[in-house]
A and B are shown apart, each in its own frame.
Chain A
């Protein structure tokens, strides 16, 4: 399955995962990869964090769209923004500021659980319907909130039986349940706990939210070039002798420990990916661990390449 087909298969992609797994980085990479195929892409950020902007060397994002690269735009869409806009749209412009200032808005939003989520998703649906972009990539809130985020629509349809919120929730449910319009890409790390939590989240999303799951993105996979070469001091000294390379004992020691660390880490990661595959029959796209502490445009480009290659290599039957 090539990247273009994947990106065209649904107009909204929700990227979800636990904090610290690189969900935001994957959002940026996926959007970049899609924009490169010539699509117009909009990234929607819902938590008001600076991470996404930093991926593109920007100080911050705003409620107004910003162009990050040709064909790639981004904006924030926090629940508070969404609520104000919603009230404005529903003939309550005059009282919306007052409601917000007095704190009544907080109380009301609390009165209806999932209200904030539904307003965000409702706005995303509105953007999708308006065709503002060929692809909308949503950087979802961190899981387990991701599950709540996605099931909020169903709860609200039951809780609020009439009126605009019910309509909004019904529309959102339609969007979420339609695989041709929306899919969720889950992100994890090849480590024990993140894998376990991803499996739980995946089943919860399929069972409770009824949203189609795209491939799993396994982030931070290290490579070990020297895995075959051997990482004992003896192997290194023997190679140095044959190669005629002078090497100090401290350097032998450093090479031995560093290569052992990587080989070992890689083996454990591969085992975790295999365990994930056994527990969750979804295709995996593996992204490389980047040996840079920060992620900027150059790193996003590398990850976008890897993502495009990974999606390109997927079995078209297995991928939705």
Chain B
């Protein structure tokens, strides 16, 4: 297993993906801190970070623009390489989308029409996929600004998070779609036939969702006319950035079976898009404490707990019972350490060419710079034990 130091040193974009609850945002923040400490001008794009982590990153309010984090906070020992900077932002999906509309609108009137449209507001605020899309849009914007050496991007915690691979295409596909053509038919062609066909199609929909909603959709598509080209070009540019060799994908997971299965799903999705998993980060892995098998430890616990050759109330029995408890506790920790490695084996084989790092269960929440720094140290120090679980570097 190799560590992530090369990735942090050389890549331009690092995209952290994975299912919810596996420490994706934490990993993204830790990678960014490490990047800054290694002298790179770094920015991390977070999506819905936990409150305390957001506070630590100085993201107390919605901050859709990069916000510099004072050096003193991420370089407490003063040993970071000079030249590094750390910035953070919290993605504001709606604002990002609004800015995009304004950018590509042909006139102020057109952008105003779209921004006021109820259908647009639903898409911008809530449509699944929009968050992914805007994360990529924000990434491109930061890349395009040309000021950052390293851009670390967190992705939304949904199964559809990898829709971002597809997200830039999504709107253009919608625009290309016959539905779109269909909805704008009444304006473009005054042919009664087209209009009548549209009516026949729209009437039943209106019966279900109400005619207001249908009117909103039609108004949206009409307002959008003429902007397709701009969006299409932008999507192509984002795709090129994602496919570039400077962009690295970091798959984040925990060692529990459900998370590993989701990670395998993500790895499959990436492969479908011909993207490689460049790094696999497994958070909260239980370390081995010794090289004795759980079965042997449990046996020792059972032997010590048996009282057949001692008087029940003797100090010896009490000492044996205490030792038995300790062996039983250790046996369970060894058991889970072994099981987790077995659980990960298939996934690790699948992404064998990636840097693979295990971050040990730290036993506490990670929401300040010291704790993030500790995670970062694990990410670049490669503390992961071998696959057989025999050689382990304890975390304390």
Contacts and interface: CB of A to CB of B under 8 A. Distances in A.
A144 B19 CA distance: 14
Contact of A255 (B205, B214, B326): B326
B213 A295 contact: no
B320 interface: yes
Contacts of A95: 201, 204
Contacts of A165: 208-210
Contacts of B212: 160
Given A108-B213, A193-B367, A239-B319, A142 B333 contact: no
A203 to B, nearest CB: 14
A230 B321 CA distance: 12
B141 interface: no
Interface in A219-233: 224-226, 228-231
B333 A225 contact: no
A163 B204 CA distance: 11
B73 interface: no
From B204, B322, B336, residue with most partner A Cβ within 10 Å:
B322
B373 interface: no
B20 interface: yes
Nearest to B334: A258
B174 A50 contact: no
Contact of A191 (B320, B328, B343, B365): B365
A21 B21 contact: yes
A293 interface: yes
Contact of A242 (B22, B183, B316): B316
Interface stretch (A110-118, A173-181, A205-213, A302-310): A110-118
A251 B50 contact: no
B335 A292 contact: yes
B210 A51 contact: no
B51 A164 contact: no
B52 A196 contact: yes
Interface residues of B, number: 75
A229 B159 contact: no
A197 B48 CA distance: 12
A165 to B, nearest CB: 6
Contacts of B20: 18-20, 142
A257 interface: yes
Contact of B330 (A228, A258, A293): A258
Interface string B183-219: 1000000000000000001001101111011101100
A202 to B, nearest CB: 15
B204 A243 contact: no
B363 A268 contact: yes
A144 B21 CA distance: 12
Nearest to B177: A103
Interface in A150-164: 159-164
Given A20-B21, A251-B290, A268-B364, A103 B179 contact: yes
B208 A113 contact: no
Contact of A293 (B122, B325, B332, B340): B340
A108 B336 contact: no
A264 interface: yes
A282 interface: no
B339 A255 contact: no
A166 B364 CA distance: 47
Given A19-B20, A50-B261, A291-B335, A192 B365 contact: yes
From B174, B342, B365, residue with most partner A Cβ within 10 Å:
B365
A87 B394 contact: no
Contacts of B183: 107
A108 B209 contact: yes
A47 B217 CA distance: 27
Contacts of B21: 18-21, 142
A156 B94 CA distance: 21
A293 B336 contact: yes
A248 to B, nearest CB: 9
B312 interface: no
A281 interface: no
Interface in B318-368: 319-320, 322-323, 325-330, 332-336, 339-340, 342-343, 363-365, 367
A283 B386 CA distance: 43
A177 B127 CA distance: 26
Contacts of A110: 119, 122-123, 127
Interface stretch (B147-155, B235-243, B250-258): B250-258
Contacts of B262: 49
A240 interface: yes
A243 B336 contact: no
A111 B216 contact: yes
Interface string A88-111: 001010010001001110011011
A278 interface: no
A32 interface: no
A64 interface: no
A262 B333 contact: yes
Given A20-B259, A163-B207, A257 B394 contact: yes
Given A50-B261, A110-B119, A229 B256 contact: no
A95 B290 CA distance: 64
Given A20-B254, A254-B290, A292-B335, A47 B210 contact: no
Contacts of A238: 319
A250 interface: yes
B170 to A, nearest CB: 10
Contacts of A51: 258, 261
A166 B210 CA distance: 9
Given A50-B261, A259-B329, 20 more contacts: A18-B20, A102-B177, A107-B179, A111-B122, A113-B126, A159-B210, A160-B210, A163-B208, A165-B210, A191-B365, A196-B51, A226-B329, A236-B326, A240-B323, A254-B289, A255-B327, A268-B363, A293-B257, A293-B340, A295-B258
28 contacts: A20-B254, A24-B258, A50-B261, A54-B261, A95-B201, A95-B204, A103-B174, A108-B208, A110-B122, A110-B123, A142-B21, A162-B210, A193-B50, A193-B365, A193-B367, A229-B323, A230-B322, A239-B320, A242-B316, A243-B316, A245-B320, A250-B290, A255-B327, A257-B394, A257-B396, A258-B289, A258-B329, A293-B255
